[in-house]
Amino acid sequence: MDFGFSEEQRLIQDSAKKFLVKECPKEKVREIEKSDKGYDRDIWRKMAELGWMGIVFPEEHGGTGGEFMDLVILMEEMGKNILPSPFLSTMVCSLSIMQYGTEEQKKKFLPDIAEGKAIWTPALTEASSSYKASGIETHASAKGDEYVLEGTKVFVPDASVANHMLVVARTGKEAKPEDGITVFIVDAKNPNVEVEVIPTTAHDKPCEIKFDKVKVPKGSILGKANEGWEIVEFMLQRGSVLKSAEVSGASQAALEMTNDYAKKRVQFDRPIGSFQAIQHKLADMLTDIEGLKYLVYDAGWRISAGYPSNLHASIVKVRANEVYERVCIDCVKTHGAMGFTDECDIGLYYRRVKYNQFAFGDSDFHKERIAAELERYSPPKL
């Protein structure tokens, strides 16, 4: 198990760092947050030109044939700069298409994603805000060569700017909630799809989506009808690891920013970083962050190596949720009252805590998954 980056991955990390520092300063973040779209088209185009959107796609579909760890590296750097972007949503969908799509679907959709021409999002949660199968009430009825989709999804990221969605719906009544689930590829611009942005303090623009008798061809099913829960599990696993990588990067940036502030802020004729109370907070934050980085790279490596693990994906998401909240709160405290203001950059990180905690499952959800995995877990023999 080698978590060291290859030379190519170090180049990806270095170029991403330079690009995001230049293109996405904090004032740009504030500007994007205030916009209707929630992302910058020019930055999105440049990211596509750098090959980020197709970094894990095979060459025949417009990609560069990279591996999952390349995406982890990009998400970590985006987290450091808190780039407002539909990148994660699009990647979770495109990874699902790569894994479960037909050749026709791959040829139709992946090249447009790689070129930055299409934005995708997974429409998973509903009124219960649960990622469990029992929370899926949106339904689709078969009529001839089509399905008719009806229901409401909430807290769907980037839906207001998406071209397509992967919509999870119930197509059969089975004994288990996980059965009778189907994933549909839906045109987000369909006139019977109503999208409304939900205001939040994080300005992340999650949406409520209403499907009013939306007709979807049977050829737009991803995977197999009534067997879509495996795809949902896939999306949750990949999404959890990539979101944790983003959170890890954000935590690193918050600590670095606060450490610099503690060296410069003077109280009682001394930098506050010389006070033991501040030093211990910084030490605790560094310990938490280094542990989170290891878990992120471990979970990402397992996927890249072909050994994906729901257990490790849930472990890292729980840890990311806890670390990011604790780090941001202590960073704000170190900055003092100004840390809560919009003008202070640390506040940009702090107000994203709750959204990031719930994205792809909160801690309670993933702890339940960990408990279920432990029932069949056997420690590796060394």
Strand, coil or helix: what is 117? coil
Q: Same domain, yes or no, for 261 and 146?
A: no
Q: Same domain, yes or no, for 126 and 61?
A: no
Q: Same domain, yes or no, for 176 and 219?
A: yes
Instruction: For residues 235 and 99, give the distance between their C-alpha atoms in angstroms, rounded to a whole number.
Output: 10
Asked, for residue 379, whether it belongs to a domain, the answer is no
Which is nearest to 239 in space by CA: 124, 372, 103?
A: 124
Asked, for residue 70, whether it belongs to a domain, the answer is yes
Q: Same domain, yes or no, for 266 and 245?
A: yes
Asked, for residue 288, whether it belongs to a domain, the answer is yes
Q: Same domain, yes or no, for 301 and 220?
A: no
Asked, for residue 254, whether it belongs to a domain, the answer is yes
Q: Same domain, yes or no, for 195 and 271?
A: no
Asked, for residue 380, whether it belongs to a domain, the answer is no
Residue 273 sits in a domain whose CATH number is 1.20.140.10
Q: Same domain, yes or no, for 22 and 114?
A: yes
Q: Same domain, yes or no, for 362 and 309?
A: yes
Asked, for residue 382, whether it belongs to a domain, the answer is no
Q: Same domain, yes or no, for 243 and 310?
A: yes
Structural domain harbouring 137: 122-226
Q: Same domain, yes or no, for 326 and 222?
A: no
End position of a domain, from candidates 59, 88, 119: 119
Asked, for residue 381, whether it belongs to a domain, the answer is no
Grouped pLDDT means (10 residues each) for the chain, 382 residues: 82 96 95 92 97 96 95 98 96 98 97 97 94 94 95 97 97 86 97 95 92 96 96 98 98 97 91 93 97 97 94 97 97 90 90 93 95 83 64
- The C-alpha angle 72, 75, 80, rounded to 5 degrees, equals 130
End position of a domain, from candidates 180, 200, 226: 226
Q: Same domain, yes or no, for 254 and 195?
A: no
Q: Are 182 and 221 in contact (CB under 8 A)?
A: yes
Residue 173 sits in a domain whose CATH number is 2.40.110.10
Element containing residue 27 per DSSP (H, E): helix 26-34
Instruction: For residues 270 and 272, give the distance between their C-alpha atoms in angstroms, rounded to a whole number.
Output: 6
Catalogue the long-range contacts made by 317-320 (C-beta closer than 8 Å, 24 or more residues apart).
Answer: 317/240, 317/241, 317/243, 317/244, 317/360, 317/361, 317/363, 317/366, 318/363, 318/366, 318/367, 318/370, 319/244, 319/291, 319/292, 319/295, 320/243, 320/244, 320/247, 320/248, 320/292, 320/295, 320/296, 320/356
Model pLDDT, residue 382: 60
Asked, for residue 1, whether it belongs to a domain, the answer is no
Model pLDDT, residue 340: 81
DSSP 223-269: S-TTBTHHHHHHHHHHHHHHHHHHHHHHHHHHHHHHHHHHHH-EETT
Instruction: For residues 49 and 74, give the distance between their C-alpha atoms in angstroms, rounded to a whole number.
Output: 15
Number of domains forming the structure of the chain? 3
pTM of the predicted protein model: 0.95
Strand, coil or helix: what is 106? helix
Model pLDDT, residue 1: 60
Q: How far is CA 228 from the centre of its chain?
A: 20
Q: Are 226 and 291 in contact (CB under 8 A)?
A: no
Q: Same domain, yes or no, for 151 and 263?
A: no
Which is nearest to 206 in space by CA: 94, 359, 364?
A: 359
Residue 98 sits in a domain whose CATH number is 1.10.540.10
End position of a domain, from candidates 226, 261, 288: 226
